Amino acid sequence: MKSFAERLAEDRRLSILKMLQTAPKYEASEGPITIELNDKDRPCTRDQVRIDFAWLRDAGLVTIDEIADLQFAKLTQPGVETALGIRVTPGVARLDP
């Protein structure tokens, strides 16, 4: 059984993918992502977003670029499919039916 912290992380990762899926060029930096997560009652720090970016990169769902100490995540095709609920990725929450 998953812990509460694991479920929160999975939900946050799905939220990040969905935000990137609606962003111009499927790309956004950690700052706006952190603000939007907090606005959507998914409290987190910028460091947590960076950790989630790294996790999503390792899962092949995003690529990461760093410019002037800011990280930018960009969706890959598997990331788009996961955000849309077409693909199931362990460690990322599934869309509600």
pTM, whole model, 2 decimals?
0.94
Measured between alpha carbons, how far is 60 from 69 in angstroms, rounded to an integer? 22
* Per-residue model confidence as pLDDT tens digits over 16-52: 999 999 999 999 999 999 999 999 888 899 999 999 9
Helix (H), strand (E) at residue 47: helix 46-58
What confidence tens digit (pLDDT) does each residue in 64-83 have?
Answer: 999 999 999 999 999 999 99
User: Per residue in 4-24, is it b (16+ CB within 10 Å) or e — as a string?
Assistant: eeeebbbebbbbbbbbbeebe
Domain 28-84 has CATH 3.40.50.2300: no
